[in-house]
Amino acid sequence: MTSLIHPNSSISKSVKLGKNVKIGPYCNLDGNITIGDNTELKSHISISGNTTIGKNNTFYPFSNIGCDPQDLKFSGEDSFLEIGNSNIFRENVTISKGTKDGGMLTCIKDNNLFMTGVHIAHDCKINNNNIFVNQVTLGGHVNILDNVVVGGLSAVIQFVTIGSYSMIGGMSGIDKNVLPFSLAIGNRAKLRGLNLVGIRRNNFNKDEIKKINSIHESFINNKINLSTNDKVETIFHEYKSILNEKLGHIQK
């Protein structure tokens, strides 16, 4: 099936569309843009720059995708945004492309939900199956691993990594790396225990939960410093065997 483009939308000649792409009214696509099959742009959406979008994504009105970074060091370099498959971008989501200090790339993988007003800054790396509730802000160079929930009105500062299966409570300020399986709440956020809701929701068994809890308590009791200066791969090493079974690859 050919793509459907509303006559009130503006599509530059450099845009490449897959099969059955639907573009509603008052959208503006201008740049080296590729959009995969079965992706839908509802209306009033701007996509720009070097932006690659996969299949089965949905964009709601007033989203700004591939925009210039809000970084005073940005000087117009030809950077990139890559988006995978089956993501949902609700109203007023903004996603910036990369910068030369962050590898020139902002990358979002698959099956993520970005609720109203979420901002993803330059050079962020977002893995799979994450939920960002209304008005979440990620500063530049933030890494979100898999199956993370970030509560509404929360902010994550630059260069922070949030581990898989963690949950960030609403209205939290995150200025340190967050361990996998953790529940972090507050301004500034502190670890409050395991993210039991998320762990059970993802079908971990009792023995796995006990092992996670034991590792987690060892970090807390030993007062491991989770500042952004620590090497995240070292902090997360104890979790790798559990994460490998669930995710099929090593988490760093």
- Which residues are annotated as catalytic? 122-123, 140
Six token digits for residue 79: 């950077």
Instruction: Locate 30 and state its tokens.
Output: 């201008």
Q: Are strands 189-194 and 182-186 parallel, antiparallel or unpaired?
A: antiparallel
Strand order in the sheet with 131-132: 4-5, 22-23, 40-41, 58-59, 88-89, 113-114, 131-132, 149-150, 167-168, 182-186, 189-194
Give the 3-state secondary structure percentages of the chain, helix then strand then coil, rounded to 5.
15, 30, 55
Give me 115's structure tokens.
């609720």
Nearest to 130 by CA among 178, 188, 65: 178
Residue 197 · residue 179 · CB < 8 Å? no
Are 52 and 34 contacting, i.e. CB atoms less than 8 angstroms apart? Answer: yes
Cα(60)–Cα(44) distance, integer angstroms: 8
Across the chain, how many H-helices and E-strands are there? 4, 28
